[in-house]
Chains A and B, each alone.
Chain A
């Protein structure tokens, strides 16, 4: 059996590892735009803070791929899928035949139109290296530029917030929405975060779009409407956009992500998707969703490998993810898109320094956001998992 996996992140690598456990004779090839072996993206904040050496971010040794008999081709971009003849081609003209194909990419980072020195993206370990270079030069900038900016309200923005807060760098943060995480948090939850973040010297500007970057080669500041903000370093976390043109051409159905059923199978036989790029059917949410976090990608990689190897396995897990923003713990469980909830029940308040939103649909709990209320996690996870009536709340 010949497996090709596109994407060397946690989902693709986990799938490869599981396939090897199941079948020690199969051929496994990973194709990746990455230049590095698997590393932990979630450790990058500790690396840039200086609390973890760079080498510790890597989760696999250089020798691991050879030991596992997994061929990994780094630095290549797949641009064509030929379904009839079962091969993929890369931009540099290589072709790779497969019996089964896994799509486990993460998409391309959205970038600002200007590429000025001082602008940072924190997606990869190379981005983290560059950010540290910028930080090293920061103290030598003119005093009026010794300020920072952040664009976005995502998990990446959180990493910049924590870094600039720790280093006491005065910062302005601009986001298009009125809250963090794509508007998943309500006003009360946001108030708790905003109060803590602003106390750390980071001013939050909601519903604001940066209209212009100032500077020729290096960043001198930015404009938001008529207001000017001089600054020397800018952290950007405005999302990811997968490139699906080549998949559409091959007949793979896509929407926000690559459409799959609950087995992570696409509409085409022998082609699967997992991780950030999959828009999979979630049996707890009872709809298709896209989830971009480490645990989901890892669990899906593990699950899809079984299905690819012939043991058809449903992906069934209550998704959860947590982050810490300036000491405030934020947890997302299950389906947290407010627009799909029929009712939202709230616990706590900003005065109590903790808020939980509980999302209810079809009279059952489908998701929750917890801000400084870890205590609700076990109960709500269990309610989602058991599909119990919301009357049990």
Chain B
């Protein structure tokens, strides 16, 4: 199962919500109208999370990151390689 580090750059995020529209399971707004990543283990939401996900969920996260018009969402794989953002 892929282990991904998903990060929302809050300096770039402007609260448009493309990631949330694409993947409400993994993203939501915080009180400051910025997107945060929801942990699939704890349910906690932070600007950055390390997520162990299925291949389908990895595809969904990738699509959410690609949908952001502010390029605010980045994804790194387990080796630290930036695969998006």
Chain A residues near B (Cβ < 8 Å): 10, 40-43, 46, 56, 59, 294-295, 298-299, 317, 320-324, 329, 331, 374-375, 377-378
CA of A59 to CA of B72 in the docked complex: distance in angstroms? 12
Show 18 A/B contacts (Cβ-Cβ < 8 Å), sorted by A.
A10-B69, A40-B71, A43-B70, A46-B70, A59-B66, A59-B69, A294-B16, A295-B17, A298-B18, A299-B21, A322-B14, A322-B17, A331-B15, A374-B29, A374-B33, A377-B29, A377-B33, A378-B29
- Tell me the chain B residues, 17-54 only, with Cβ under 8 Å from chain A: 17-18, 21, 29, 31-33
9 new A-B contacts, CB < 8 A, other than A295-B16, A377-B33, are: A41-B69, A43-B70, A46-B70, A294-B16, A295-B17, A295-B21, A298-B18, A320-B17, A322-B16
Q: What's the count of A-B pairs with C-beta under 8 Å?
A: 52
> What's the dominant secondary structure at chain A's contact region?
helix
Give the residue name and chain of the A residue nearest to B16 (CB): A295
User: Residues of B within 8 Å of A, CB-based: how many?
Assistant: 16
Cα distance, A265 to B71, chains bound together (Å): 31
Complex alpha-carbon distance, A40 and B29, angstroms: 21
B5 at the interface (CB under 8 A from A): no
> Contacts A322-B33, A374-B33, A377-B33 known; A40 to B15 CB distance under 8 Å?
no
Question: CB distance A374 to B69 under 8 Å?
Answer: no
B→A interface (CB under 8 Å): 12, 14-18, 21, 29, 31-33, 66-67, 69-71
Shortest CB distance A306–B (Å): 15
Distance between Cα atoms of A46 and B68 in the complex (Å): 14
Residues on A with C-beta less than 8 A from B32 are 374
- Which residues of chain B come closer than 8 Å to A331, judged between CB atoms? 15, 33
- In the complex with contacts A43-B71, A322-B33, A329-B33, A317-B14 CB distance below 8 A: no
A322 near B15 with CB under 8 A, answer: yes
Bound state CA distance, A56 and B16, in angstroms? 18
